């Protein structure tokens, strides 16, 4: 953990911004209504969406004011469950009755202010030195839809949304068990964000949980906007191109990791969930691997690892073979390549960089444009530009084939963050190949392997189960054996309950 602590100190050892001191923060809630309303107007100055509705409580005859922010509350709940009982229903003078849950008394102004920003409504009653808090949250939400990035053929067609409570509920539907625990941490100075850690208490490692929660609590930021910010603030090596946590938008994928003994971090207002600790091979696993035949899943997974190597090293191998090590190319092929390159005025490295940068620009343009237009730009743009570049003599036919194969190989990777890291590593490999040939590629490969071995994710070796070698986890690494053979949880999750709850494969001959 020492590397992460040193990196965290560097990130957080900066002069803290001086926030304005609220002189009214220490003033208690007054029993006089006018003083409380004056304070509310001061705190929420220039907030036209602040609603202060004054009325008389029929049960007691007291003056009261209900305060909330328009747009963050459910108005039907306020009208039917708060205002109607207080204004029209009779009762005893000792009790104020409403038909809504989560009624709490607050006397501190910072708590009242935060509650209003969270979508609660606050009732001030003349003569009382406390305010009543009602759960009337009802901000705009979108419907649960099919995940946009992590598509699945046989998996569930529902993805996380921007409301943390709904995301937690979706995970609970998969694991309706009392051992599923939720630990909530408030992160951010200005925009206080709920960050919830979900895990199985009888499976997950408590030391990893403590490390996870300590890192999240040390985040010092104005506000957390999305899950990626949390991942970047708590990762062990912030300078590595490889992601050290999995971000997923699929509830079934998050549940699969929780059942393996890992932790899921739900960030309110973010449609993705953070998973840790993870290993390098975790990024090559998909939900569909466990819903298809194990032989088919094994073949697809092997293609992913092959695509990883092709996406990083194929352009570098092409540059090395053309510039330095052309003796390894068969004679007929080198003649064909020479004929293709006779009109190209650039060296192979310039040719490769030109095509790869153009490809990345087309890919990014396709992502940012609307879906129908984006697909058209990606396909038509690649065909038109590639063909025009070949006819103009800027690049060779073989280079177009290399770039297209590299792009297809990178698309096989199921995790977007890992695919982005592979796209980035392609360029230094091309540069070192242009300077040292095959020797440079081998040096780059050794450097890459050494870096992967040195990485950690919450203290878990990133290269596991390959480095350190753990043969027990190889059943679900390069291959995916039948589910009834994987009776143990992966050692990389560091779970305290290694064995799963039995095997579905009967003993004997299976008759």
Cis amide prior to 333 (ω within 30 degrees): no
Cis amide prior to 468 (ω within 30 degrees): yes
Give tens-digit pLDDT for 405-447. Answer: 998 999 899 999 999 999 999 999 999 999 999 999 999 999 9
The label of the residue with tokens 């993805």 reads: 159
Residue 226 phi/psi, 5° resolution? -145, 175
Question: Cα-Cα-Cα-Cα dihedral of 471, 476, 480, 483, to 10°?
Answer: 100
Distance between CA atoms of residues 281 and 289, nearest Å: 13
* Cβ burial 85-124 (10 Å sphere, 16+ → b, else e): bbeeeeeeeeebebebeeeeebeebeebbebbebbbbbbb
407 CB neighbour count, 10 Å cutoff: 18
pLDDT at 285: 92
Cis amide prior to 465 (ω within 30 degrees): yes
Whether the predicted pLDDT of 96 surpasses 60: yes
What six digits make up the tokens of 312?
Answer: 């990083």
Q: Specify whether the CB–CB gap between 275 and 254 falls below 8 A.
A: yes
Whether the predicted pLDDT of 466 surpasses 70: yes
Picking from 137-141, 154-158, 369-373, 503-507, which range would have the lowest pLDDT averaged per residue?
Answer: 503-507
Mean predicted lDDT score pLDDT of the chain = 86
Whether the predicted pLDDT of 136 surpasses 60: yes
pLDDT at 90: 63
17 or 221, which is more confident: 221
Distance between CA atoms of residues 58 and 84, nearest Å: 10
pLDDT at 509: 43
Distance between CA atoms of residues 487 and 395, nearest Å: 53
Looking only at the bridges linking them, the beta strands covering 456-457 and 460-461 are antiparallel
Cβ contacts of residue 288 below 8 Å, gap of 6+?
152, 153, 154, 155, 297
94 or 167, which is more confident: 167
pLDDT band at 367 (very low <50, low <70, confident <90, very high): confident
pLDDT band at 372 (very low <50, low <70, confident <90, very high): low
Most confident residue range from 156-165, 299-308, 382-391? 299-308
pLDDT at 413: 92
Distance between CA atoms of residues 91 and 59, nearest Å: 5
Q: Specify whether the CB–CB gap between 270 and 163 falls below 8 A.
A: no
Mean pLDDT, range 488-506, rounded to an integer = 77
Distance between CA atoms of residues 31 and 129, nearest Å: 5
Whether the predicted pLDDT of 477 surpasses 60: yes
Residue 30 phi/psi, 5° resolution? -90, 155
pLDDT at 25: 53
367 or 107, which is more confident: 107
pLDDT band at 294 (very low <50, low <70, confident <90, very high): very high
pLDDT at 338: 83
Residue 387 phi/psi, 5° resolution? -65, -40
Give tens-digit pLDDT for 392-406. Answer: 888 888 888 898 899
Looking only at the bridges linking them, the beta strands covering 456-457 and 263-267 are unpaired
**Structural element, H or E, at residue 213:** helix 206-217
pLDDT band at 18 (very low <50, low <70, confident <90, very high): very low
Strand partners, 267: 195
Give tens-digit pLDDT for 55-90. Answer: 998 878 889 999 999 989 988 889 888 888 888 876
Give tens-digit pLDDT for 258-277. Answer: 999 999 999 999 999 999 89
Whether the predicted pLDDT of 217 surpasses 60: yes
pLDDT at 342: 83
Helices (H) and strands (E) in the chain, counts: 16, 12
∠ Cα 133 139 141 (to 5°): 145
pLDDT at 9: 52
Whether the predicted pLDDT of 26 surpasses 50: yes
Q: Specify whether the CB–CB gap between 34 and 63 falls below 8 A.
A: no
Distance between CA atoms of residues 12 and 9, nearest Å: 5
């Amino acid at each position: 953990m020492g590397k992460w602590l040193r990196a965290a100190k560097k990130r957080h050892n900066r002069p803290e911004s001086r926030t304005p001191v609220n002189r009214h923060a220490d003033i208690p809630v007054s029993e006089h209504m006018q003083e409380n309303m004056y304070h509310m107007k001061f705190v929420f100055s220039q907030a036209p969406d602040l609603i202060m509705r004054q009325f008389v409580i029929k049960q007691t005859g007291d003056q009261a004011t209900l305060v909330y922010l328009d747009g963050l509350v459910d108005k039907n709940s306020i009208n039917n469950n708060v205002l109607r009982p207080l204004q029209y229903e009779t009762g005893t003078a000792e009790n104020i009755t409403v038909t809504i849950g989560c009624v709490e008394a607050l006397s501190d102004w910072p708590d009242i202010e935060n509650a209003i920003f969270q979508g609660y409504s606050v009732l001030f009653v003349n003569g009382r030195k406390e305010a009543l808090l009602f759960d009337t949250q009802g901000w705009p939400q979108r419907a649960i839809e099919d995940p946009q990035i992590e598509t699945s053929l046989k998996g569930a067609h529902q993805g996380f949304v921007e409301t943390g409570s709904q995301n937690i509920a979706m995970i609970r539907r998969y694991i309706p068990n009392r051992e599923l625990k939720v630990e909530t941490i408030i992160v951010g100075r200005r925009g206080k964000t709920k960050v919830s850690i979900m895990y199985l208490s009888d499976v997950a490692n408590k030391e990893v949980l403590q490390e996870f929660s300590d890192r999240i609590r040390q985040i010092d930021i104005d506000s957390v906007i999305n899950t990626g910010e949390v991942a970047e603030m708590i990762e062990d090596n912030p300078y590595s191109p490889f992601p050290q946590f999995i971000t997923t938008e699929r509830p079934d994928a998050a549940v699969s990791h929780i059942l393996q003994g890992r932790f899921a971090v739900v960030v309110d207002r973010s449609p993705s969930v953070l998973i840790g600790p993870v290993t390098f091979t975790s990024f090559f696993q998909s939900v569909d691997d466990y819903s298809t035949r194990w032989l088919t899943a094994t073949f697809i997974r092997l293609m992913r690892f092959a695509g990883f190597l092709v996406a990083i090293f194929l352009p570098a191998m092409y540059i090395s073979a053309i510039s330095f090590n052309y003796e390894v190319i068969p004679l007929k092929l080198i003649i064909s390549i020479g004929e293709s390159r006779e009109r190209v005025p650039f060296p192979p490295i310039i040719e490769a960089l030109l095509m790869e940068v153009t490809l990345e620009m087309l890919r990014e343009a396709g992502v940012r444009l609307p879906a129908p237009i984006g697909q058209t730009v990606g396909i038509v743009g690649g065909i038109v530009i590639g063909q025009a570049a070949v006819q103009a003599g800027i690049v060779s036919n073989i280079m177009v084939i290399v770039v297209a194969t590299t792009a297809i190989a990178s698309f096989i990777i199921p995790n977007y963050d890992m695919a982005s890291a592979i796209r980035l590593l392609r360029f230094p490999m091309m540069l070192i190949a242009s300077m040292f040939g095959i020797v440079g590629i081998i040096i780059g490969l050794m450097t890459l392997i050494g870096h992967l071995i040195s990485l950690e994710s919450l203290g878990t070796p990133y290269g596991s189960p390959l480095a350190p070698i753990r043969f027990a986890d190889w059943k679900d690494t390069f291959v995916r054996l039948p589910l009834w053979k994987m009776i143990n949880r992966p050692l990389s999750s560091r779970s305290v309950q290694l064995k799963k709850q039995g095997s579905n494969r009967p003993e004997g001959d299976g008759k």
